[in-house]
Structure 1
Amino acid sequence: MEEGGRLDTVLGKAVSILRAFRVEDDALPLAELVRRTGLHKATVHRLAGELVNNRLLDRVEGGYRLSVGLFELGMRASVERSLLEIAMPFLQDLYERTHETVHLGVREGHEVVYIAKIGGHRQARTPSRAGGRMPLHCTAIGKALLAYSDATLLGEVLAAPLERRTSHTIIAPGLLRRQLAKVASSGVAFEYEESALGINCVAAPVIGPSEELMAAISLTGPTSRFSPEAHVAPIRTASAALTATLVRLPSATR
């Protein structure tokens, strides 16, 4: 079962169904939801129906998909919503300066949760989406978050199996630790086709009013023309400007 629910409660079972959806999924058939959750078919069918009635799932051809009702609930999450409202002008400015795909992400557990994604006609084909998740260790934005997190979290991530998303994913704990040390000293993180083939990324952390890590910003582009090193200056500028704004507005994200 996915992290975040208990299978011995009705709520836990419903949450396990919602968490069975992955970033790359559109619709999932009932049989696949049964396989991913480990629940009985009748239970999944009944709870999926309840989730449809409560606008958390949609019933579509081919099975079920996540509903806009989940997005509406997510937008009510005070910290992320306030952060997004404050960050959006900086994200838009970064996009206008670079015309590359811009992300804003926060950490939840061992994953990045993307709370914003901006891209235009040159947008890279990335597996990310607003509201989606990716492992911390294989994305630039995740590495920026991980490098500035506490030692306990770092130890947990390095001790757990590191999923290989592509042939370029760093799965050796020692190598990842050394790379994260460089991120912590330089203030920028890089990704070279580690989460998906064909894309490179650069990211920087966003620090809050009490010097706590709040988020990270990234730029993503296709390997055919996007050099992460060439975009260090704009990503640093954006993260520093957002950090400075958050420091001046200590109540804005609380």
Structure 2
Amino acid sequence: MAALSTEQASPAAPRRDLPPSMVERMTLIMDAFTGRSTRLTLEDVARRTHLPRSTAHRILDQLVQLNWLDHTSFGYRLGKRALGLGGRDGSHGEIREAAAPLLHELQIKTGMVVHLAVLDGAEVFYLDKVGGRFALSVPSRVGGRAPAHCTALGKAILAWLEPEQVDTLIDGPISRLTNHTIGDIATLHQELNRIRQRHGLAFERGECFPQISCVAAAIRGHEGPVASISLVGESRTPLEKVAPLVVDAARQAALTLFPGLESPRRTRAAARTPDPTWSTETMNQMLAVGQDGDWL
């Protein structure tokens, strides 16, 4: 009888103990997100952390409310706080790493200056600059900033935001840096609409700096643009010849950052990613030049 009682009292199987504190449980969940492009469902989080589904769900909701995580149609992802306020955090290293070989390839193919930037409020923040013979004439630097509304880099990103987001970011009077700078929000919205009609290609000639022209395309993920790439030349550089190269580079960077971008479940925004190459006829239809030489 004693032996039987001992056997009945013994545990049936060892069970993994849950972390005792909320901080430890939150840390388990945050550690499950290995990078900016990580997307996890509730089931993924519960499986990776070994937390009960109800516990994981409750903590995830709190992390979303506090902006540590975002909840999207694709699941959970790192939020503004995790990625750094203002976007100046280590996650930029992931963007730079994905884009670096593409920037160098662009520079070699074209001999032009190549920029990589992200949107930070109403400005673009330069993450990288790969120079050519024209580099010293371009007054930009890594870590520098420029108004988003008058740069091809900024307009390429703004074009894929909701109009209300643009209004919030570009709040108040718009500064004009040159005679070609867009000076009001209505004209800016018209320009952003033209960029969307050109499948995301953004141009600027002398809007930010005199005698400089740029063409840019946004690097777009599941939920929208995360950065942009541009080629920079002199004011009369025929940018239509190099525009497809910029689009290709932005698309390849997006596929590196978001490997599932071209899966059947991609979002409508991702589905509008331009094709890798265009014929001359298609380019001519997409790009129009006014009588004064400005891009329309």
Give me the TM-score of the superposition, normalised by structure 2: 0.55
Task: Give the equivalent residue in structure 2 for 1:247.
Answer: 258
3-state secondary structure, aligned to 2:242: helix
How many residues align? The count is: 174
Task: Give the equivalent residue in structure 1 for 2:247.
Answer: 236
Residues of 1 paired with 2:248 and 2:232: CA distance? 16
CA deviation after TM superposition for structure 1 residue 173, in Å = 2.1
Alignment of 1:73-152 (within 5 A): 77-123=89-135, 125-152=137-164
CA deviation after TM superposition for structure 1 residue 183, in Å = 1.0
- Unaligned regions of 5+ residues in structure 2, if any? 1-87, 262-296
Task: Give the equivalent residue in structure 1 for 2:186.
Answer: 174
- When residues 142 and 124 of structure 1 are mapped into structure 2, their CA distance, relative to the original with a 3 A threshold, is farther
Task: Give the equivalent residue in structure 1 for 2:73.
Answer: none
Alignment of 1:21-100 (within 5 A): 77-100=89-112
Residues of 2 paired with 1:165 and 1:126: CA distance? 15
Task: Give the equivalent residue in structure 2 for 1:41.
Answer: none
Give me the TM-score of the superposition, normalised by structure 1: 0.64
Residues of 2 paired with 1:166 and 1:231: CA distance? 25
Tell me the amino acid that sits aligned with residue 207 of structure 1. Answer: R
Residues of 2 paired with 1:95 and 1:184: CA distance? 25
- When residues 155 and 144 of structure 1 are mapped into structure 2, their CA distance, relative to the original with a 3 A threshold, is same
3-state secondary structure, aligned to 2:137: coil
CA deviation after TM superposition for structure 1 residue 184, in Å = 2.0
Deviations 1:221-250 (A, max 9, x none): 1125x1222221111111111112222179
3-state secondary structure, aligned to 2:258: helix
Is the CA contact 2:163–2:189 (under 8 Å) kept in the aligned structure 1?
no
Tell me the amino acid that sits aligned with residue 244 of structure 1. Answer: L
- When residues 91 and 196 of structure 1 are mapped into structure 2, their CA distance, relative to the original with a 3 A threshold, is same
Task: Give the equivalent residue in structure 2 for 1:223.
Answer: 235
CA deviation after TM superposition for structure 1 residue 159, in Å = 4.4
Deviates more, 1:105-114 or 1:239-248: 239-248
* Root mean square deviation, CA, Å: 2.0
- When residues 183 and 124 of structure 1 are mapped into structure 2, their CA distance, relative to the original with a 3 A threshold, is farther
Is the CA contact 1:101–1:124 (under 8 Å) kept in the aligned structure 2?
no
Deviations 1:118-151 (A, max 9, x none): 1122336222210001011000001011111233
CA deviation after TM superposition for structure 1 residue 152, in Å = 2.7
Percent identity (aligned): 36
Deviates more, 1:238-247 or 1:118-127: 118-127
- When residues 153 and 100 of structure 1 are mapped into structure 2, their CA distance, relative to the original with a 3 A threshold, is same
Residues of 2 paired with 1:229 and 1:159: CA distance? 32
Deviates more, 1:155-164 or 1:131-140: 155-164
CA deviation after TM superposition for structure 1 residue 88, in Å = 0.2
Tell me the amino acid that sits aligned with residue 245 of structure 1. Answer: T
The alignment status of 1:195 with 2:208, answered yes or no, reads: yes
Tell me the amino acid that sits aligned with residue 101 of structure 1. Answer: V
Task: Give the equivalent residue in structure 2 for 1:50.
Answer: none
Residues of 2 paired with 1:154 and 1:96: CA distance? 34
Residues of 2 paired with 1:170 and 1:230: CA distance? 25
Tell me the amino acid that sits aligned with residue 195 of structure 1. Answer: C
Residues of 2 paired with 1:124 and 1:191: CA distance? 19
3-state secondary structure, aligned to 1:220: strand
Q: Work out which structure has the larger RCO, using CA pairs closer than 8 Å and 6 or more positions apart in sequence.
A: 1
Deviations 1:165-210 (A, max 9, x none): 01111113222111101112321000010001010000000012x3
- Unaligned regions of 5+ residues in structure 1, if any? 1-75
